[in-house]
């Protein structure tokens, strides 16, 4: 079957589209490619956010360790200050 024979079997609206060489499959393919491109953009955005999140988590862990070290230093200073202070005189009942 030649192309012209095939076109003659189509309904009138489809013949008009065939005359302009419009292909629904091509449109579907283009929509699919656009969808793939959007999916890739979303995946790269997700990966970028995941890297930023990991970076923030590492910074928070470093900050937590630093604060824990400072807290232990303060605790040791408070303990040494408490033990070095003289005991107040006892008030006895004479």
**Dihedral angle sign, alpha carbons of residues 10, 15, 19, 21:** negative
- The better pLDDT of the pair 6, 12 is held by 12
- The better pLDDT of the pair 79, 45 is held by 45
Backbone dihedral angles phi then psi of residue 23, each to the nearest 5 degrees: -125, 115
DSSP 67: H
Q: Are 10 and 18 in contact (CB under 8 A)?
A: yes
Quick one: pLDDT at residue 64?
Answer: 97
User: Looking at the predicted structure, is the pLDDT value of residue 23 above 80?
Assistant: no
User: Looking at the predicted structure, is the pLDDT value of residue 87 above 60?
Assistant: yes
Average pLDDT over residues 19-41: 82
DSSP 12: H
Average pLDDT over residues 64-78: 93
């Amino acid at each position: 079957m030649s192309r012209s024979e095939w076109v003659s079997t189509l309904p009138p609206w489809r013949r008009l589209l065939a005359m302009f060489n419009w292909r629904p499959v091509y449109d579907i393919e283009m929509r699919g490619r656009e969808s793939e491109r959007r999916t890739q953009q979303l995946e790269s955005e997700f990966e970028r956010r995941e890297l930023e999140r990991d970076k923030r988590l590492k910074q928070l862990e470093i900050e937590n360790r630093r604060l824990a070290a400072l807290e232990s230093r303060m605790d040791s200073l408070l303990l040494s200050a408490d033990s070095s202070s003289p005991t107040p005189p006892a008030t006895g009942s004479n």
